[in-house]
Amino acid sequence: MIYLDIALPIPHFSNFTYKVSQGKLKNMEKEEIIGRRVLVPFRNYGLTGIVVDISEEKPDVEVKEIIDFPDKEPLFTKEYIDIVKELSEYYLSPLGMFFYYIIPEGLRWEYNPKTKRWIKKVQEDKVYVPNVLTLADIPNLSQKGRELLEYILERGEVTAEEIKEEGFSLSSLKTLIKKGLVKEVSYIFREEAKKYFLKQKKTVKPYSLPSGKYLYNTEVFRKRIFTYISLFYDAIRKGESSLLIFPNIKSVETVYSFLKKEFGDKIFLYHDRISNKEKIRNWFSIKNLNGTITIGTYTSLFIPVKNLRYLILEEEYSDAYKNRRTPKFDARRVVFSIQKKKGITAIYSSTTPSMESYLALKKKIFLPVNRKNIFSQAKGKIQIVPFETFNAVKKLLLEELKENKKTLIIANKKGFSSFLFCDVCETEIMCNQCDVPVKVHKDDKYYLKCSACGKKYQYIKNCPDCENPLKEVGFGIDKIVELLKKNNIQFSFLEDSKKTDIKLTVSLLGKEAIASIFDKIINIYPDFILSIPDYKSEEKFFRSITIPFFKTKDRYILITNESDSKAVESLKNKNLSLFYEREILERKELDLPPFARYILLTFEKKNLEIEDIRDLFNKWIISHKISNIQYEGPLYARISKIRGKNRIQIILKNFEKKELLIDLYENALKKGIKLNIEIDPKEIK
DNA sequence: AGCACGCCGACT
DNA sequence: GTCGGCGTGCTC
């Protein structure tokens, strides 16, 4: 008997032991078992897990036997298991939950105890293998049957399509199966013999970067992409692979279709909107083939790419790189872990890098890709217009849109109005289950929507308490849409593939790959970003005003009242480090990230009170004899209620013994309080 | 997470 | 009597 350490998808901070008999092992080597997907009985149902370790010692607890190893090969290599383990510990996310999330969706099989069957989510590939060793001494076999058996023996393993292509009929195959001469085998993935073609264009010079961590902020996106092409050609020549990550699917698809022309069958796509079948096929192809290129979202970071050489994280500043659900992780850190483990070349790219990356470059933890001046690649004129009223903005827009130029309008805000306000009661109209004012939206008609829980409400004109007419406060993208429609101006959204001269978007952040160059860009009042109580607000504001400039050919019109801020100063002076240097000083003075590490604890329960949490927290500190702990709270969260549950927060600063928080999590859970632990939160209020 | 079990109020 | 909502406990 052999015992397996299996990570199962349940929020429990330990693995589970199962036994496996020699028969089920089918002569597998130890290395072929670790990293494998495994089906196990669990209570009265079943689960899909990942084998993370093997032992021959009998454990203390009573253990069950596994059901099956459904795959031909492991999903993960030992290296990647170590990387995922490290991340799971860092982010306090259970290992099994981590693995379950990062494997292709089609492999997350579920057991239905009623029908006693596994729901497999994808169709398996069926192949046919010989069940005899030679053709000799087989009586009663037709000429056709003999020829087919000979063919299957020769190939070792064939599909029904291949049998048909060879000119055999499927009924001959059926006869052979009936006679027990051929066996049908199901695989979730069968490696395909790929026909590669690759004609390198003469214009592209292969280029290589030695292993290490790089910051690439010296060139705009359209130049960076050609650097990647050069790197990819160099890697392919050596049989090495590359992984290029974007913060959203639209960017992935745009770049994929562009690079497909260049690299043909060498290139793979991986994100959550491709089919389950394709995801599985691509996973194994990328794992097994030499010299591939993968374009994907952050889920593709966990594919154990064969011979990985270049790992590129595009627009590395993007908030989308932080997964806010379990398993919690930040793509930037995942890239860091993979680089450290494998000694590859990792490139963090963006026009406006994150503060962390900028500081890492300063400290020489990151290397520069080159030393070009990014401002020499943008020639637009910056025009700063103060904001007065929304009516003035409307007038400016109509005037500017008269010119037949390729124009982009950035609205900076979703929805129609920010909220509804009653002058008499002096209150905002709130969501009835959250502590959030409802936002006014307008698609075909007006409606109200809560931005916290997503609940929609009918539009109301008058205050439900005093019946006085309500005032709409603020303006979002839906109001710009209304203006353009009223004036019969042809437009489309930036994210649509439709071709119009006028494009509209909420924000350009994370969309550098989607947006082309515009003659004119109008950025409407991004100032509100500064009013969000978060230490990253200035950085976000800086990015929102800077990125559009690098997409402008002639005129960049920025509507703002913040022209004295360090962000606008730095843009006007065409010197981005002006902003970064000043921001770094401020962060250092206030002891904010990246100079301090924070952990945000959010407790959620109906009718939860500050006292409950203070009790719970103090008991935890005493029971673990924790001293010198720096924290703030417990306090009500900025959004003090979501879906009827009160939210109370504690912020820990530079807390080292993270693993003790598991105990706090479990103590809270015993009282029906859900604790959300966020390591390195992206917002601190 | 996802399931079972048990308590309790509401409704036949 | 029985259905179902939800609080609690447990998982190799």
For chain A, how long is the longest CA-to-CA vector? 99
Residues 2-41 of chain A: which lie with beta carbon within 7 Å of strand B?
9-12
CA of A97 to C1' of B2 (A): 13
CA of A624 to C1' of C4 (A): 41
Residues 597-656 of chain A: which lie with beta carbon within 7 Å of strand C?
606
| Residue at the smallest CA–C1' distance to nucleotide C7 | A672
Alpha carbons A542 and A414: distance in angstroms, whole number: 19
**CA-angle at A158, arms to A154 and A164, nearest 5°:** 105
Q: Which nucleotide is nearest to A14 (CA to C1')?
A: C12
Instruction: Please write the tens of the pLDDT for every residue from A29-48.
Output: 888 999 999 999 988 888 99
Residues 325-344 of chain A: which lie with beta carbon within 7 Å of strand B?
326
Q: Which nucleotide is nearest to A113 (CA to C1')?
A: B3
Q: What is the pLDDT of residue A193?
A: 44
The whole-chain average pLDDT of chain A stands at: 91
| Residue at the smallest CA–C1' distance to nucleotide B2 | A10
CA of A609 to C1' of B9 (A): 27
A313-332: average pLDDT:
93
CA of A641 to C1' of B10 (A): 29
Asked whether strand C has any atom less than 7 Å from the CB of A14, the reply is yes
Residue A546 DSSP class = H
Q: Which of A119-133, A173-187, A305-319, A474-488 has the highest mean pLDDT?
A: A305-319
Alpha carbons A417 and A479: distance in angstroms, whole number: 8
**Taking 50 as the threshold, does the pLDDT of residue A416 lie above it?**
yes
Alpha carbons A326 and A557: distance in angstroms, whole number: 41
Asked whether strand C has any atom less than 7 Å from the CB of A16, the reply is yes
Alpha carbons A108 and A3: distance in angstroms, whole number: 23
The fraction of chain A above a pLDDT of 90, given in percent, is 63
User: Nucleotides of chain C within 7 Å of a protein C-beta?
Assistant: 7-9, 11-12
Please answer whether residues A384 and A560 qualify as being in contact, where contact means their C-beta atoms are separated by less than 8 angstroms: yes
| Residue at the smallest CA–C1' distance to nucleotide C6 | A672
A144-169: average pLDDT:
90
A525-549: average pLDDT:
94
User: Nucleotides of chain B within 7 Å of a protein C-beta?
Assistant: 1-4
**Taking 80 as the threshold, does the pLDDT of residue A124 lie above it?**
no
**Taking 50 as the threshold, does the pLDDT of residue A364 lie above it?**
yes
CA of A669 to C1' of B6 (A): 19
Asked whether strand B has any atom less than 7 Å from the CB of A113, the reply is yes
Alpha carbons A108 and A49: distance in angstroms, whole number: 9
Asked whether strand C has any atom less than 7 Å from the CB of A60, the reply is no
Asked whether strand B has any atom less than 7 Å from the CB of A249, the reply is no
| Residue at the smallest CA–C1' distance to nucleotide C8 | A670
Residue labelled with tokens 């917002």: A683
The candidate with the shortest Cα–Cα distance to A435, out of A648, A209, A638, A217, is A638
Q: In what order do the strands lie in the sheet with A158-159?
A: A158-159, A125-130, A182-187
CA of A606 to C1' of C5 (A): 15
Q: What is the pLDDT of residue A200?
A: 57
The candidate with the shortest Cα–Cα distance to A474, out of A505, A437, A444, A443, is A437
C-alpha distances in Å from residue A439, one per residue of A116, A407, A431, A524:
47, 28, 9, 19
Residues, chain A, total? 685
CA of A332 to C1' of B1 (A): 27
**Taking 70 as the threshold, does the pLDDT of residue A203 lie above it?**
no
Alpha carbons A254 and A251: distance in angstroms, whole number: 5
Whether residue A74 is preceded by a cis peptide bond, meaning omega within 30 degrees of 0, is no
Asked whether strand C has any atom less than 7 Å from the CB of A18, the reply is yes
Exposure string for A403-436, b = 16+ CB within 10 A, e = fewer:
eeebbbbbbbbebbbbbbbbeeeeeebebeebbb
Please answer whether residues A116 and A44 qualify as being in contact, where contact means their C-beta atoms are separated by less than 8 angstroms: no
Asked whether strand B has any atom less than 7 Å from the CB of A386, the reply is no
**Taking 60 as the threshold, does the pLDDT of residue A532 lie above it?**
yes
Exposure string for A314-353, b = 16+ CB within 10 A, e = fewer:
bbbbbebbbbeebbbbbbbbbbbbbbeebebbbbbbbbbb
C-alpha distances in Å from residue A565, one per residue of A49, A252, A444, A521, A576:
52, 34, 39, 21, 13
C-alpha distances in Å from residue A165, one per residue of A128, A170, A174, A563:
15, 11, 16, 70
Instruction: Please write the tens of the pLDDT for every residue from A452-485.
Output: 877 788 888 888 888 888 888 888 999 999 999 9
Please answer whether residues A210 and A234 qualify as being in contact, where contact means their C-beta atoms are separated by less than 8 angstroms: no
Asked whether strand B has any atom less than 7 Å from the CB of A672, the reply is no
Asked whether strand C has any atom less than 7 Å from the CB of A17, the reply is yes
Q: What is the pLDDT of residue A201?
A: 61
A62-79: average pLDDT:
92
**Phi and psi at residue A47, to the nearest 5°:** -140, 160
Asked whether strand C has any atom less than 7 Å from the CB of A10, the reply is yes
CA of A643 to C1' of B8 (A): 25
CA of A114 to C1' of C3 (A): 21
Instruction: Please write the tens of the pLDDT for every residue from A480-501.
Output: 999 999 999 999 999 998 999 9
**CA-angle at A113, arms to A110 and A115, nearest 5°:** 95
| Residue at the smallest CA–C1' distance to nucleotide C10 | A43
Please answer whether residues A645 and A453 qualify as being in contact, where contact means their C-beta atoms are separated by less than 8 angstroms: no
A365 pLDDT tier (thresholds 50, 70, 90): very high
Q: Which nucleotide is nearest to A43 (CA to C1')?
A: C11
Residue A66 DSSP class = P
Asked whether strand C has any atom less than 7 Å from the CB of A672, the reply is yes
What pTM did the predictor assign? 0.90
Q: What is the pLDDT of residue A641?
A: 84
**Taking 90 as the threshold, does the pLDDT of residue A194 lie above it?**
no
**CA-angle at A303, arms to A274 and A226, nearest 5°:** 75
Asked whether strand B has any atom less than 7 Å from the CB of A389, the reply is no
Alpha carbons A492 and A481: distance in angstroms, whole number: 9
Residue A238 DSSP class = T
Alpha carbons A485 and A29: distance in angstroms, whole number: 67
Asked whether strand B has any atom less than 7 Å from the CB of A674, the reply is no
**Phi and psi at residue A164, to the nearest 5°:** -65, -40
Amino acid at A313: L
Residue labelled with tokens 């936002």: A439
Asked whether strand B has any atom less than 7 Å from the CB of A588, the reply is no
**Taking 90 as the threshold, does the pLDDT of residue A514 lie above it?**
yes
Instruction: Please write the tens of the pLDDT for every residue from A617-668.
Output: 998 999 899 988 999 989 998 888 888 788 899 999 999 999 999 989 888 8
